[in-house]
Amino acid sequence: MAHGLAYPIATVWAFASVPVFVMNVAAEVGITLDDETVAHRVLLRVAWPTIASFVLVHLAGVLWAFDSNEDRGRRVFRVTLAGLFVIPVVVGGVSWIWLMTR
């Protein structure tokens, strides 16, 4: 279950982190690089929150699997997944609106 849910959550984190890293790369290099190089640098940075969220979902699943109290393990798993989904949706949505209206 955790593996199947890790993909959409990692995707949400990838999309949500793009505006932050676009501004980060733009502030770092300005307009001195071509679009392909800027996109490459942004995507390299986007990989980190994507991979981290992917690993955290799997970790939550492993903790649920090995928890002696199944109800507590399931509750922790659900809360972790809810947090890992809601945070990038809200923060990412706000950051995309900010970036597009800038």
Per-residue pLDDT of the chain (102 residues; tens, 9 = 90+): 888 999 999 999 999 999 999 888 888 877 777 778 888 888 999 999 999 999 999 999 999 999 889 899 999 999 999 999 999 999 999 999 998 998
pTM over cut 0.75: yes
Q: From residue 44, give the alpha-carbon distance in Å to each of 4, 48, 88, 102.
A: 24, 8, 18, 24
Domain residue limits at 55: 2-100
